Amino acid sequence: MNNRSRSIFKLDRISLRDRWRWLMLFTLLLFTCWGEIACHSAPPMVDQPNVQTNCHLVEHAAGVTCVPNTVQRLVVLDQVSLEHTIALGFRPVGAPLTQRKSYLRDRLIGIENIGEGGTPNLERVLALKPDLIIGLDFNQDIYAQASQIAPTLLIPFTYSGEWKEAFQRFSTALKQEAIAQQVMQHYQQHLQNLQNTLRAANSAQGLSFPFKVSVVRIYPDKLSLYFRDSFCGIVLQDAGLLRPNAQDLSASEAKRWFNNEIQESISLEQVDQADGDVIFVWTSEDSVAGNQSAKEQFARLQTAPLWQQLNAIKMDRVYFVPDYWIGSGPLAANAVIDDLFKYLVNPS
């Protein structure tokens, strides 16, 4: 290779090297510009207007609501929401109080009545100036109006046996998880005390434990058996008590067979399905007249020969209990445990 050829080759190498460096520099500058544009076009969220810092977003059955971090004037739309919020330490300013449950009586002082559950008087709600409205998902029809008054939450709740899941949803939405944990720990301790006492009492009397507990609701025109995943059925499960075979159905089984997760009506000819070592009976109608009719139905049932043949009847272990046995929250659950202490530890 002559000197001229060597010089051209060397220049070509230098030219290629320089072109590569210029290309790398251009690419770097281009990415830098893009980064600057992106940063200037998307300022941090905290700098944007309309960002609320005194509430937290909660997804619920009707959408997404920014719930105040501090709730001072709470209105609840139904009895279930009333119990769950009271259990979490709230004292609502308004609630439906047409059905005053005995176990809540002392906790309702100072709460304004807003009418019937499911159809509250929204003018009364507005007058209370709530900072939060909360209810179950069956209140969908009034959600649009309620949410114009105050931030509104609708909590999913399918059937009474889901009361623990519902309680967790309420506590999460209201940021009261620590209180909910304490409430459920108390419930578990209450159950453990019951189990220990029952074992000791039954052992002293030569009786077996666990035994079968039947639960029956009396309507004015029929009677129903309550299944394993009903509200009271969950409490009985947690207490380690058994259920008669006809009542030992899960929610999914009951839904598939009877289209009802928690109960099924029976005829008088099927009343043997209500038998057990113990039978708990209650009525729960929406009016005084309705409850009176149900009690009259129970009186007639007690005279029926098929009812009198039940083992629990012969052993005189049938107990009439309050309507919180078809409750929906931890306060009612503890009231049911109190009844189990009353009737099972020292049966008369």
Mark whether 222 and 335 lie in a shared domain. Answer: yes
Domain presence at residue 135:
yes
Looking at per-residue confidence, does 348 or 156 come out higher?
156
pLDDT for position 322: 92
Mark whether 85 and 219 lie in a shared domain. Answer: no
Mark whether 225 and 130 lie in a shared domain. Answer: no
Assess whether pLDDT exceeds 70 at residue 217.
yes
Mark whether 202 and 291 lie in a shared domain. Answer: yes
Domain presence at residue 162:
no
Mark whether 144 and 242 lie in a shared domain. Answer: no
3-state SS class at 96: coil
- In the chain, helix, strand, coil percent, each to 5? 55, 15, 30
Q: Tens digits of per-residue pLDDT, 143-192?
A: 999 999 999 999 999 999 999 999 999 999 999 999 999 999 999 999 99
Report whether 173 contacts 58 (CB < 8 A). yes
Q: How far apart are CA 315 and CA 328, in angstroms?
A: 31
**Residue closest to 116 by CA, chosen among 138, 86, 132:** 138
Q: How far apart are CA 299 and CA 255, in angstroms?
A: 30
Assess whether pLDDT exceeds 80 at residue 98.
no
Pairing mode, strands 318-320 and 278-282: parallel
Mark whether 87 and 205 lie in a shared domain. Answer: no
What does residue 73 show for φ and ψ, rounded to 5 degrees? -130, 85
Assess whether pLDDT exceeds 50 at residue 63.
yes
Domain presence at residue 33:
no
**Residue closest to 84 by CA, chosen among 335, 292, 327:** 327
What is the distance, to the nearest Å, from the Cα of residue 8 to the centroid of all Cα atoms in its chain? 85
Lowest mean pLDDT among 3-12, 213-222, 310-319: 3-12
pLDDT for position 44: 34
Q: Tens digits of per-residue pLDDT, 293-302?
A: 888 888 899 9
Domain presence at residue 48:
no
Domain presence at residue 199:
yes
Report whether 101 contacts 79 (CB < 8 A). yes
Assess whether pLDDT exceeds 90 at residue 58.
yes
CA quadruple 109, 111, 112, 117: dihedral sign: negative
Mark whether 207 and 90 lie in a shared domain. Answer: no
The amino acid occupying position 75 is V
Concatenating the DSSP letter of every residue in 286-328 gives SSHHHHHHHHHHHHHHHTSHHHHTSHHHHTT-EEE--GGGG--
Mark whether 186 and 309 lie in a shared domain. Answer: yes
Q: How far apart are CA 159 and CA 53, in angstroms?
A: 35
124, 157, 190: which is the final residue of a domain?
157
Assess whether pLDDT exceeds 90 at residue 9.
no
Lowest mean pLDDT among 29-43, 88-102, 165-179, 243-257: 29-43
Q: How many domains does the chain have?
A: 2
Mark whether 131 and 75 lie in a shared domain. Answer: yes
Lowest mean pLDDT among 27-36, 98-107, 139-148, 278-287: 27-36
Q: What is the mean pLDDT of residues 182-206?
A: 87
Residue 190: CATH number of its domain: 3.40.50.1980
Report whether 146 contacts 119 (CB < 8 A). no
Q: Which domain holds residue 84?
A: 55-157
Concatenating the DSSP letter of every residue in 130-152 gives -SEEEEEGGGGGGHHHHHHHS-E
Domain presence at residue 115:
yes
The amino acid occupying position 240 is G
| Tokens (6 digits) for 126 | 């507005």
**Average model confidence (pLDDT) across the chain:** 84
